[in-house]
Amino acid sequence: MIEQDTIRLLRECSSGVQMGTESIENVLDSVQSDSLKKSLSDCKDKHLVLDKKISEILNRYGDDEKSPGAMAKTMSKAKVAMKLAMNDSDETIADLMTEGCNMGVKTLSRYLNQYKAADEQSKSITKDLISLEETLAKDIRRFL
């Protein structure tokens, strides 16, 4: 049970990290403020570090990373494109990213509760990812 919950939790973290990284990449070229761009870039870099750690652990279990669902990726990309087409301000970008962070926190918290038997390392990684999302949302509030 521990191994199954650990793998499932890490797969969800992997999916969340990829979704977060892609979301940041989708808006980065539209960012006008250097400080917002730095906050987003720093967060993306931290996502990539976590992604590598998750991938290494999953590989040890003989498992692969989980990609976000195609529908979720398409819907997210379409929403970003539509909102930026209407208003490509830093305020819009901060709003979109805050929504994404909040969704990530909610989803990851749900999985953390669902996969209670997961090992402590995977729970710690999940909590680090939740913290990363919460910190980004807090850091970019000034642009809302």
The pLDDT value given to residue 111 = 97
The pLDDT value given to residue 47 = 96
3-state secondary structure of 102: helix
Buried b (16+ CB within 10 A) or exposed e, 31-61: bebeebbebbeebbebbeebbebbbebbeee
**Residue spans of alpha helices (H) in the chain:** 2-28, 34-60, 70-86, 90-114, 120-139
Rounded Cα–Cα distance for residues 97 and 79 (Å): 12
pLDDT in tens, 79-137: 777 887 888 899 999 999 999 999 999 999 999 999 999 999 999 999 999 999 999 99
Q: pTM for the whole thing?
A: 0.90
Cα torsion 93, 12, 132, 43: sign:
negative
